[in-house]
């Protein structure tokens, strides 16, 4: 059981209410005893944790020849990605038999640049538990037209199309969402890390596509993730500070965010980024949750922060507009169409609604 799931101690059993020898009533004239919070105290305001749906098989994938053996077995299903777009049909990722797909694409301009192990479906996913999944990254997108299926790939639904994650994310189930994000992240890494950073030699994929090794100096290189903080800033009167970039008359407002710099803690990054972007001081911050956003390689780390300031000064570069909202002001502005806030797919929306204390109705909800 995690700390967030642990039941709060009753008042009768609270460590803060119990007296230990060092906390017993002080002798007359002595300083009063210190009142302590319960041990391992954690404020009950974290975002809910979404369970993993795919077992990435970090132990299994390091076995030499594992990936070729899996694809050749005929039991694995393949996600197809090209140019940061995946094959989608009827609001779902298209999954194809990996062995048949490899055979159809061999010796064509569409033969995959990379075949990568994604993992196996866990119980609770939208796939049968144990379903093995691989990723085919193609150099070109073949035309998805019925008359060309026999030339390249069999089994593609007639309504299949290439689509980016943002285009279809709102319609995908949780398992397809997880697969699309994982596939995008690892494909982006392969596309941008083709050579050894030490000597410039082209590297070779290993471990099911999760390691690249330099044949010249034998160094190993692993997928990278760039941490970025994303923050709801709350003023002394409880109002929320949102900002936006671009034209001054733009309607989009969201939480503030920025990358963590080398040698910096997350909390320091929160303090620095908020000060740089909107000129307010952060006096306290608390981590709430995270979201992978591999476009190209970010991990968004969600915080809420407090400030004693009531005036924001946008930097005019990353943030051109900043505005304070009470809960009623924010809901009214969204419903009227005066402003547009982040979609429900994003951690930004989760953070905003965490501050709000419930679901914020969009203008489209009442249409």
Q: Which residues contact 15 (CB under 8 A, 6 or more apart)?
A: 9, 36, 38, 39
Domains 54-192 and 226-359 share a fold: yes
Residue 92 contacts residue 150 (beta carbons within 8 Å): no
CA pair distance 354, 213, nearest whole angstrom: 43
Instruction: Determine the topology of domain 54-192 in CATH.
Output: Nucleoside Triphosphate Pyrophosphohydrolase (3.90.79)
| Chain mean position to CA 132 | 23
State residue 14's pLDDT score: 36
Q: Please give the model's pTM, rounded to 2 decimal places.
A: 0.82
CA pair distance 263, 285, nearest whole angstrom: 19
CA pair distance 59, 270, nearest whole angstrom: 35
State residue 265's pLDDT score: 97
| Chain mean position to CA 99 | 31
State residue 46's pLDDT score: 77
Residue 119 contacts residue 55 (beta carbons within 8 Å): yes
State residue 30's pLDDT score: 60
State residue 227's pLDDT score: 97
State residue 86's pLDDT score: 95
Query: Which residue pairs from 196-204 have beta carbons closer than 8 angstroms and sit at least 24 positions apart in sequence?
Result: 196/221, 197/221
pLDDT tens, N- to C-terminus, the chain (367 residues): 233 333 333 333 333 333 333 344 555 666 566 666 565 555 555 788 889 999 999 999 999 999 999 999 999 999 999 989 999 998 999 999 999 999 988 888 889 999 999 999 999 999 999 999 999 999 988 776 545 544 556 678 878 899 999 899 989 999 999 999 999 999 999 999 999 999 999 999 999 999 999 999 999 999 999 999 999 999 999 999 999 999 999 999 999 999 999 999 999 999 999 999 999 999 999 999 999 998 888 999 999 999 999 999 999 999 999 999 999 999 999 999 999 999 988 999 999 999 999 999 998 877 6
State residue 43's pLDDT score: 56
β-sheet bridge partners, residue 230: 257, 302
Q: Rounded to whole angstroms, what are the CA distances from 223 to 67, 112, 165, 206, 258?
A: 18, 20, 20, 12, 21
From the CB of residue 167, how many other CB atoms can be counted at a distance below 10 Å? 13
Q: Where are the domains of the chain?
A: 54-192, 226-359
CATH number of 226-359: 3.90.79.10
């Amino acid at each position: 059981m995690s700390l967030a799931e642990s039941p709060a101690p009753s008042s009768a059993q609270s460590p803060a209410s119990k007296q230990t020898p060092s906390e017993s009533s002080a002798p007359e004239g002595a300083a009063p005893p210190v009142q302590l919070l319960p041990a391992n105290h954690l404020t009950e305001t974290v975002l809910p944790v979404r369970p993993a749906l795919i077992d990435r098989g970090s132990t299994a994938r390091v076995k030499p020849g594992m990936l070729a053996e899996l694809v050749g077995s005929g039991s694995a299903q393949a996600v197809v990605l090209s140019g940061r777009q995946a094959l989608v049909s009827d609001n779902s990722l298209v999954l194809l038999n990996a062995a048949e797909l490899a055979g159809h694409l061999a010796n064509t301009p569409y033969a995959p640049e990379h075949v990568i192990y994604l993992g196996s479906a866990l119980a609770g996913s939208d796939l049968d538990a144990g379903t093995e999944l691989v990723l085919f990254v193609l150099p070109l997108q073949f035309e998805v037209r019925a008359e060309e299926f026999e030339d390249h790939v069999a089994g593609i639904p007639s309504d299949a199309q290439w689509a980016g994650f943002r285009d279809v994310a709102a319609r995908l189930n949780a398992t397809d969402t997880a697969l699309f994000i994982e596939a995008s992240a690892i494909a982006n890494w392969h596309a941008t890390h083709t050579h050894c950073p030490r000597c410039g030699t082209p590297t070779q994929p290993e471990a099911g596509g999760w390691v690249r090794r330099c044949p010249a100096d034998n160094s190993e290189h692993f997928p990278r993730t760039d941490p970025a903080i994303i923050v709801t800033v709350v003023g002394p009167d409880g109002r929320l500070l949102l900002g936006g970039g671009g034209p001054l008359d733009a309607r989009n407002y969201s939480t503030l965010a920025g990358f963590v710099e080398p040698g910096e803690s997350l909390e320091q990054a929160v303090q620095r980024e908020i000060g740089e972007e909107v000129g307010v001081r952060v006096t306290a911050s608390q981590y709430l949750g995270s979201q992978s956003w591999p476009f190209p390689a970010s991990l968004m780390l969600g915080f809420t922060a407090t400030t004693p300031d009531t005036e924001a000064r946008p930097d005019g570069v990353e943030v051109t507009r900043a505005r304070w909202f009470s809960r009623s002001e924010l809901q009214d502005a969204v419903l009227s169409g005066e402003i547009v806030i982040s979609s429900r797919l994003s951690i930004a929306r989760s953070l905003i609604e965490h501050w709000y204390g419930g679901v914020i109705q969009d203008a489209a909800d009442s249409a």
